Amino acid sequence: MKKEYRDIADLIKKRLLRDEHPGTRDLINELKGVKKRGYFTRTEFLKMCKWKSPRARRFYESNSPHSIRNVSMKLFATEFEKRKIESLTSLSGVNIPMASAIMMLTDPENYGVIDIRVWQLLYLYKSVSAKPTGRNFSFKNWYNYLMKLRHFAKKFKVGARKIERTLFEYHKKIQEGNLYD
């Protein structure tokens, strides 16, 4: 991949996407009341997980309705990002990228999905300095990523998801070779 822009801010300024993919938009709309309700159902949980990664299906489908409800209640009851990630990743099949997807789908103004594509782009533009391949994220990696998304969201007066989606779609256009080695 080659840099086309001076920095990430310049890239976002010139390529900012303000729309949402129709399927994702529909799912976000379907989940609008979840945060206010204070929990999500197993059906809603499975839809979010399937949206992020159908590959882990046998793991996330093993979670009981009771555990999903309890974890989601903890998620929406705390303001501490570390507790949110810890609660979600306590569920089978939920790693940090899946947890970030669940948070984005229920609160796209404040969250984006941590993804190999966006991370690699941030690394290319020296906005992050670790994990050039964009895999195996720790809480610290995710939190740093989240702060970057929120910084640019505030700067451009959009939600964090719009920043993440802009970078994701741009990476797809400039990617060379295989995404995974």
Q: Could you report the per-residue pLDDT of 43-102, keeping only the tens digit for each?
A: 999 999 999 998 889 999 999 999 999 999 999 999 999 999 999 999 999 999 999 999
Q: 40: which DSSP letter?
A: -
Domain boundary pick from 79, 106, 133: 106
Q: Is residue 149 part of a domain?
A: yes
Are 66 and 93 within one domain? Answer: yes
Q: Is residue 2 part of a domain?
A: no
pTM over 0.85, yes/no: yes
Identify the pLDDT of residue 176.
73
Identify the pLDDT of residue 126.
93
Domain boundary pick from 48, 71, 106: 106
Q: Is residue 99 part of a domain?
A: yes
- Determine the Cα–Cα distance for residues 8 and 86; give it in Å rounded to an integer: 29
Identify the pLDDT of residue 167.
97
Are 92 and 130 within one domain? Answer: no
DSSP letters spanning 72-123 = HHHHHH---HHHHHHHHHTSTT--HHHHHHHHHHH-TTT-----HHHHHHHH
28 vs 181, which has greater pLDDT? 28
Are 85 and 139 within one domain? Answer: no
Name the token pair of 13.
């300024």
Domain residues for the domain of 61 are: 24-106
Report the number of secondary-structure helices (H) and strands (E) in the chain: 11, 0
When pLDDT is averaged across residues 11-35 and rounded to a whole number, the result is 97
168, 118 Cβ separation under 8 angstroms: yes
Domain boundary pick from 59, 87, 106: 106
145, 164 Cβ separation under 8 angstroms: no
Q: Is residue 181 part of a domain?
A: no
pLDDT per position as a tens digit, 118-151: 999 999 999 998 887 788 899 999 999 999 999 9
